[in-house]
Amino acid sequence: MTDVRPAVRVDGLGEAGVLDALFHSDQGGHEQVVLCQDRASGLKAVIAIHSTTLGPALGGTRFHAYADEARPEEAALRDALNLARGMSYKNAMAGLEHGGGKAVIIGDPDLIKTEELLLAYGRFVAALGGRYVTACDVGTYVADMDVVARECRWTTGRSPERGGAGDSSVLTAFGVFQGMRASAAHRWGSPDLTGRTVGVAGVGKVGHLLVDLLVEAGARVVVTDVRDEAVRRVLSAHPGTAVAASTNELIATPGLDIYAPCALGGALDDTTVPLLTAGVVCGAANNQLDHPGVEKDLADRGILYAPDYVVNSGGVIQVADELHGFDFARAKEKAALIYDTTLEIFARAEAEGVPPAVAADRIAEHRMAQVGTR
């Protein structure tokens, strides 16, 4: 059983080439990677299937421009590979009969997203014959999945009117909230978040719903987001919410109890970890650990890290339930188990003397290995 970190980035694609990364890198091992292009609609996409050991790969479709990268296409490929691997671990820890996959559509969704492009993307997913089941992610929404589903029956996250589960952000936020409660119970002896100060970086689809739950639970909330309109939406709903000008300002807030990264990955790195004032990190973003060793840096500083792919699995639990005739109460009941799973990880980490991220990996790998040897 290998000790593969799902959050480790597959770097060097430009220098070594994608074949070296996939076939020779310790972080490779993906079953299938599909590069998609439809010139008529402008579609450029990557579909990465990491594993189908537990069942068909399940993971969302990210729509992102990678405009700040020197090589956007290679950055998108790295992202798809990392996210697909993370989905294998996430689905295993969530107890789902699904492997891990992820897709990335390259480009600014505000500029190039069209019905024709989404239909073309749906045809590429359909061509995989059910090996990959798609859903929403950053930059894609329920209405988009309704369009994709016109060409591909292996599409989840559709609207209730089209037989779907609707916005999976609802149970993603709920699951992160359960992870926070478990973290509080382990760190402070009680899951009660009343009076705790929680910093939420990124108040988009998931983050603003998480703020709703935190305010309802009696927590004090500080938010930040690169988009002013996202912050304004939170302030409109919760006028008492404090605002930090930047993520660096947020993580250095005196008296912060919990830090919740809820934007893009790589939020925890050599620059941010030394600045953290919070005793707990628990958020919705995928691949929060920028590189191997960050989990140890957090542990060395006495910061309790709730593994991202465990606590943010409520969304994938929701869309997986859609494949069996969606029942929100049933999906929410399963997402509530994230609380118990998070406590199990903390207990194993203490027993084995390893960071929680390593303990979570070992549990997930054990499940995949058991199924793989049947």
- Judged by DSSP in three states, 41 sits in coil
Which among 271, 275, 282 is positioned nearest to 301, based on CA atoms? 275
Backbone torsions φ then ψ of 108, nearest 5 degrees: -80, 115
Report the distance separating Cα 234 and Cα 211, nearest Å: 8
Q: From CA 303, how far away is CA 91, in angstroms rounded? A: 25
Buried b (16+ CB within 10 A) or exposed e, 195-211: ebbbbbbbbbbbbbbbb
The answer to whether 102 is a known catalytic residue is: yes
For 268, what's the count of Cα atoms within 13 Å in the CB-facing half-sphere? 35
User: Out of 90, 102, 113, 334, which one is annotated catalytic?
Assistant: 102
One-letter amino acid identity for 291?
Answer: H
CA distances from residue 109 to 69, 275, 325 in whole angstroms, order as listed: 17, 33, 30
Taking CA atoms, 87 is separated from 71, 102, 321, in Å, by 24, 7, 16
Q: What φ, ψ does residue 146 adopt, rounded to 5°?
A: -60, -40
DSSP string for 196-250: -EEEEE--STTHHHHHHHHHHTT-EEEEE-S-HHHHHHHHHH-TT-EE-SSHHHH
Would you call 59 helix, strand, or coil by DSSP?
Answer: coil
**How far, in Å, CA of 304 to CA of 89, rounded?**
20
Active-site residues: which are they? 102
